Amino acid sequence: MKKLALMLLIGMAAMGQQGKFQPLFDGKTLKGWDGDPRLWSVKDGELVGSTDGVKLAHNTFLIYKAEKFSDFVLRAQVKLRNHNSGIQFRSEELPEWVVKGLQADMAQGNWWGSIYDEKGKRGVMVNGWKGKGETVVKPNDWNDIEIYCKGEEIRITLNGLVTAELKDSEKMEGIIALQLHAGPEMEVRFKKIELMKLK
């Protein structure tokens, strides 16, 4: 009986380890990430992407290189000064810090909480802005983003509100990346980026 109880405790401890959020950003360096060094930096514990003084030929990304992910929950806090950004997930890395795949979209005045197919043919896959994201987004302030992926099930939550749900099996594993959008000079900040794998 004691042996069985001990085995149960060990099993529960192992499950607890699997179910823990792990940081993808250490708050001090860009360790594990790769992007255009002119555009990405760490300031005051925040991961900062800025195109001020730089003209982009195309959208560019900071790519998490350490690992690819399939089933997970990703959480982050995001502050968008202006223009357009997003978090890529289950995506594919292309040359010159370009990324293709699903994106939790965020943009000044629209698209917060939506799912977009970056460099794909499907465009906006779920409009999470109208009647949802627009009601909870905090312009020029920190916003809580959560991306849930389990099999075909995908869900985006913005500041506690589920804004987009999708069933998609086109690509079941891929990279995580952060976007700087071509166009006007812009800035976006990220902090508390953490991920929990789902078994």
What class is the 22-197 domain?
mainly beta
The tens digit of pLDDT for each residue in 68-122 reads: 999 999 999 999 999 999 999 999 999 999 999 999 999 999 999 999 999 999 9
Q: How far apart are CA 173 and CA 70, in angstroms?
A: 4
157's enclosing H/E stretch is strand 153-158
pLDDT tens digits, one per residue of 147-190: 999 999 999 999 999 999 999 988 999 999 999 999 999 999 99
Q: Give the integer Cα–Cα distance in Å for 61 and 97.
A: 5
> Which residues lie below 8 Å from residue 143, measured CB to CB, with a gap of 6+?
77, 78, 79, 80, 106, 112, 137, 158, 159
How is the chain split into domains, by residue range?
Answer: 22-197
Widest Cα–Cα separation across the chain: 69
Distances (CA, A) of 5 to 18, 128, 180: 20, 47, 52
Alpha carbon distance 116, 36 (integer Å): 23
Q: What does the pLDDT average to over 23-33?
A: 97
Is the pLDDT assigned to residue 4 strictly greater than 70?
no
Question: CA 101 to CA 116: how far, in whole Å?
Answer: 8
Confidence category of residue 3, pLDDT binned at 50, 70, 90: very low
